[in-house]
Amino acid sequence: MPHPNDPKLRSFIDVDATSDFPIQNLPYGVFSSKDGLAPRVGVAIGNYVLDLWELEQDSRLDVGALGVFAGPTLNAFMALGPKVWSQTRARISELLRHDNPELRDNSELRSRALVPMANVKLYLPIAVAGYTDFYSSREHATNVGVMFRGKDNALQPNWLHMPIGYNGRASTVVVSGTKVRRPRGQLKPPTAEVPSFGACKRLDFELEMGFVVGQPSKMGEMLTESQAEEMIFGFVILNDWSARDIQQWEYVPLGPFQGKAFGTSISPWIVTREALEPFRVHGPAQDPAPLPYLKQAQANNYDLQLDVGLRTPAMNEAMRISRTNFKYMYWSSVQQLVHHASSGCAMNVGDVLGSGTISGPDKDARGSLLEISWNGTEPIELPGGAKRTFLEDGDSLVMRGWCQGDGYRVGFGEVEGTILPAE
């Protein structure tokens, strides 16, 4: 049987070469459709969602545990482990192949199991157990450091020795399309003598990738590189919305809190680690060498292109304001997970870990408005004469990501969010 990543594979479903969802991808999500059934697990293929619950009911798909695809999250499926993940993806690929009549020629099953993407509603695909955000792009950390501490003191002394992160709020991780209300909090501009309470005036986005932990680790135990890799179920695009003025006043001495807690948006489709395997690359050279527990024996970064578009209420289409690549990350996802567990911290099925803002070496590859507008001093010029330094009410952010193969792409769809006024 061909491997599901074989670039020569074709589905009996017509999939355009520019689609995010060819047979080589098969990302998981949770959806409902106009048939009135409750949210359940599906896989994206071209312009359709393949209903895994229908395949399970028809005895075409067996993962050894009944009902895992009938629920409103992927957690029960993820808990079955990497061997089942791989076997399931291979079976789905087999069912969708152009030369397999099993589903292709069964018109009744096909009509039940293949739902047009235009007819579905997508949900948060997992029950988020915990959320941690990292700060792992050297370019981003350097840009921010130069702005606030000067060129000679851009990186803090610990930054080159470990992945820096903080524990965020799982309760406000939401799926693409969820509107985000402008947060309120304590504000103290440099010119003010005392703080005040009010709506954020410097609202920003952060372009990130998130990965989903699909297997638990025990409290008190460390992880090896290979163990951490096996625990990663897949990846999503992640927008960690940021209130820069709230954060600036609160972050000393304990770091981000309310400036980050109000909303984190993720894309609805989880692209599996296995689907990204052909796009592995080595990350930047790490100097000084990491401590032994953080050393990597293999390439753990991915050649994954990322776009950010901004749309104001007066615009019909989003204008691209950033293009970068996940391969630039100094600390890999595997290193982040190894470090997270190194103290003995237990990891759970459904944990989400954000990469931190992804910025590249060029000016047009910056992953936040803080960097793009250089702390508000260089406004973005938009169609119709509009300008932006930070986000205004009614603005929408659209992030997209994909890995480019030979004649196909493995993509993530998009994560979109629109800013509502503060209450």
Residue type, 133: D
From the list 326, 327, 332, the residue with the least C-alpha distance to 290 is: 332
Tell me the catalytic residues.
Answer: 140
Which of 331, 401, 335 has its CA nearest to residue 176?
401
8 Å CB contact between 353 and 333: yes
Cβ neighbors of 273 (< 8 A, separation 6 or more) are 211, 229, 232, 233, 234, 235
Phi, psi (rounded to 5 degrees) for 118:
-65, -15
- Hey, which bits of 305-374 come out as E strands? 305-311, 319-325, 352-354
Alpha-carbon distance 172 to 264, whole Å? 6
The pair of structure tokens assigned to 19 is 């689609």
C-alpha span between 407 and 395 (Å, rounded)? 34
Long-range CB pairs of 318-322 (<8 Å, 24+ gap) are 318/396, 318/398, 319/382, 319/383, 321/372, 321/380, 322/207, 322/364, 322/365, 322/366, 322/367, 322/372
Task: Please give the sequence-ordered ranges of beta strands (E in DSSP) within 262-304, or none if there are none.
Answer: 264-266, 271-272, 280-281, 301-302
Q: Which of 361, 369, 374 is nearest to 327 (CA)?
A: 361
Is 83:135 a contact under the CB 8 Å cutoff?
A: no
Token reading at 279:
């796009």
State how far the Cα of 191 lies from the Cα of 104, in Å rounded to an integer.
68
Rounded CA separation 54/112 (Å): 7
